[in-house]
């Protein structure tokens, strides 16, 4: 085997064993901020109810993707709340024509149950392109302030973010 062929074989082997990302569609990347009584907090346990994780919900709208939910039941679409960002794998089917995905975030408690008391904005519609990340504006999750975090100060926000 020549030097060039050996080098190409080593590069190919490195790609197979290394940190390659499998691309079977597009990805959706979202960010979120938690507000407790109007103030951004970084400790998600200070929200009332406490938020353990945030799940990205994706629902197809129109055409062949209508009603599909590519993130449903997938752990890879749920992220620790404190990360404040998350991205799906590159396997969300690409949109065509008038197809779009309704994207939203859902706060989840430590017991794995959705937290409907944590308010999130309505879904945002986006197209998805194979091999590309689809970025969505930051979502604002609104909750109360957990009394274990010092309750509220005189201005009505969490005393300890």
Q: Output the domain CATH number for residue 57.
A: 2.60.40.1120
Query: Is 133 within a domain?
Result: yes
Query: Is 156 within a domain?
Result: no
Domain that holds residue 129: 22-149
Domain count, the chain: 1
pLDDT tens for 1-42 read 444 444 334 334 344 444 566 788 999 999 999 998 878 888
Query: Is 116 within a domain?
Result: yes
Distance (Å, whole) CA 120 – CA 114: 12
- Return the pLDDT at 148: 79
Query: Which residues, at least 6 apart from 31, have a Cβ–Cβ distance to it below 8 Å?
Result: 84, 85, 136, 137, 138, 139
Query: Is 2 within a domain?
Result: no
């Amino acid at each position: 085997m020549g030097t060039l062929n050996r080098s190409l074989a080593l590069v190919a082997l490195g790609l197979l064993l290394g940190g390659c990302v499998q691309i079977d569609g597009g990805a959706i990347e979202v960010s979120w901020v938690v507000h407790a009584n109007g103030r951004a907090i970084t400790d998600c346990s200070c929200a009332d109810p406490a938020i353990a994780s945030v799940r990205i919900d994706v629902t197809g709208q129109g055409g062949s993707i209508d009603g599909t939910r590519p993130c449903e039941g997938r752990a890879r679409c749920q992220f620790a709340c404190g990360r404040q960002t998350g991205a799906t794998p590159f396997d969300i089917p690409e949109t065509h024509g008038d197809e779009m995905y309704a994207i939203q975030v859902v706060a989840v408690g430590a017991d794995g149950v959705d937290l409907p008391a944590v308010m999130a904005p309505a879904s945002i519609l986006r197209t998805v392109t194979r091999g590309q990340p689809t970025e969505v504006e930051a979502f604002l999750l609104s909750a109360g302030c957990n009394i274990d975090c010092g309750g509220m100060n005189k201005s009505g926000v969490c005393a300890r973010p």
